[in-house]
Structure 1
């Protein structure tokens, strides 16, 4: 009986409650903040109202000029990498080069457009900062190049992209032409040297023909001389002429054979050089486009910045947090003053 009573007694004891002190502390803090907001709601409403008004006014176009964004996506074309980089990386590097930047700056007078004072010692750094802030050239995940331009003038934003593409084409063409000019000049030197050698061979052969009566048809001449010597050609044989040709063939026959073979070999080499020279000239003369434009730049009709609701929301949130922090400091100071007064009493 006593055991049953003891068990019943134990069953009446409630189970221990596990309290998360951190959660309770956060809860009381939230409650305190809510109380502060309710206590100062009128002041906060006025402050937020004034903030809303100012943020709407100062985010307008009279204070922050709207900027428009135009963009283009392009792939490289008719180019070959110089080292381990891809064609896209090469295109990106050229578009980000100083020569392209300076070309665009001069073509569109960006110094005046950005309102940069050239009398300032740091005007060039300011110009490059504005250029980098408003003009972005990056590689896409699909190995293309995207050009983005932000500007207060939507037409100029579009034109700057076209200007970058034009400057890129001219730059690549200039780089290629410099190399092709070197190739053309190389083959031209080879052709000139080979032409001089061929001319010297022909002059020597001409001299042999004039002085010794030898012509490039050495085999035919030899046959005719042998007929004259053996008197098998029929008719009257010009014996003195046969004797003269025989003597010339004996003295200079080997040379004329050598000159003929040398002339033929040099003529083949000259012909090969001429083909390569023509190809190099064709490459030098080509007017290729080095851009495959996937997305052409358009004139934007909607501003990209500023986004007014972000400015307004950010202003309201920051002012609200700052106001609550200030109210908390004031309330804490007030409690300390009250505590000191009560402790003195």
Structure 2
């Protein structure tokens, strides 16, 4: 004897037989889901869209460099490492804890008190679930935050973007401080060398009587030639005081002659003074360059050049994103209807099997 089958065709009579129970369950589900849907608060989301810039092009040291080959402007980037770095910073725990503390989200989410591990973990989990940072198909980053307060959601989204920018800049801040110290040390070292060399040059000029190599050598030679010519004429009986001319000639040519400017000192000190002068000029040029570099580095490290290019700030939403109340009600009704049909079908199947067993016995 073949066993009788239980098919879906028989669901109609079954549902009709249990219509009171099924209908009551569906009506009850509709009422409960409607109440729940009405009680649920509206949730709004605010989205900020931005591009990261490369650390090199957002470095003020390079932006202030006036050389043509190094002059750069802020460049947008779609490099995977830049995008990953920004997303990692945005999803980091220190940033989350900073926002949670700033807006006292323990109170806002009504979850415990700050300092309790369970409460802190619960608030952090709630915050993370409301935050979304994704890389879209246009190589931009979309940062979205959801909250029941649309104004708070916009403020938090914008603050997270600012925090990402600040932390991104901090990644290079320490190295830039070290570079600034190197600039300062270089400037101070060259300044000390320049001052030491300048004093040595001044002393050498006064000691040797060499104040200007080209002009002084020209006029010294001219004066020696003139005095020597007059001396020769006087010695030949052409008139003039021979003794005075010889004394003048001695003063122009010998260091012990009493003249500050004389040929002996000029010849002996010309090379050393020339070397000191060249060294001083070189140090002066290096000092000017070092001072400019140090001032530029000082200015750049105090500058706040954004490492992000914000295309769209987060604004308070004009439309809620959830809950979709009609969907909650319809979904609850359909699920209840299906479950009710399954339950009554199982009950009918169980009763049918029991009746067959009683008939067989």
TM-score tier by shorter-chain length is 0.7 to 0.9
Offset of 1:85 from its aligned partner? 3.4
In the other structure, the counterpart of 1:304 is 321
Offset of 1:46 from its aligned partner? 1.1
Offset of 1:129 from its aligned partner? 0.6
| Larger mean Cα displacement after TM superposition, 203-212 or 116-125 | 116-125
Offset of 1:208 from its aligned partner? 1.2
In the other structure, the counterpart of 1:270 is 287
Q: 2:305 aligns with which of 288, 298, 322?
A: 288
Normalising by structure 2, we get a TM-score of: 0.76
Offset of 1:317 from its aligned partner? 2.4
Distance 2:185 2:358 in 1: 105
Q: What are the superposed Cα offsets for residues 187-240 of structure 1, whole Å, 9 maximum, x if unpaired?
A: 22111111111111111112212333233x223333344345444588874632
Distance 1:96 1:234 in 2: 93
Q: 1:107 aligns with which of 94, 102, 108?
A: 102
CA contact (8 A) 2:50 2:311 kept: yes
Q: Cα 1:180–1:200, aligned 2, differ >3 Å: closer, same or farther?
A: same
| Larger mean Cα displacement after TM superposition, 177-186 or 322-331 | 177-186
Offset of 1:294 from its aligned partner? 2.6
In the other structure, the counterpart of 1:239 is 250
Q: 1:72 aligns with which of 48, 51, 60?
A: 48
For these two proteins, the number of residue pairs brought into alignment is: 315
Q: 1:95 aligns with which of 90, 93, 112?
A: 90
In the other structure, the counterpart of 2:158 is 162
Q: Which runs of 5+ in 1 are unaligned?
A: 1-24
Q: Does the residue aligned with 1:146 lie in a helix, a strand or coil?
A: strand
- Cα RMSD over matched residues? 2.9
Distance 1:168 1:281 in 2: 24
Distance 2:328 2:80 in 1: 42
Q: 2:331 aligns with which of 314, 319, 336?
A: 314
The answer to whether 1:337 aligns with 2:357 is no
Q: Which runs of 5+ in 2 are unaligned?
A: 59-76, 231-244, 256-261
Q: Does the residue aligned with 1:336 lie in a helix, a strand or coil?
A: helix
Distance 2:201 2:311 in 1: 63
Distance 2:327 2:155 in 1: 29
Distance 2:116 2:299 in 1: 49
Distance 2:333 2:327 in 1: 10
Offset of 1:162 from its aligned partner? 1.8
| Larger mean Cα displacement after TM superposition, 49-58 or 323-332 | 323-332
Offset of 1:253 from its aligned partner? 2.7
Q: 2:202 aligns with which of 196, 206, 210?
A: 206
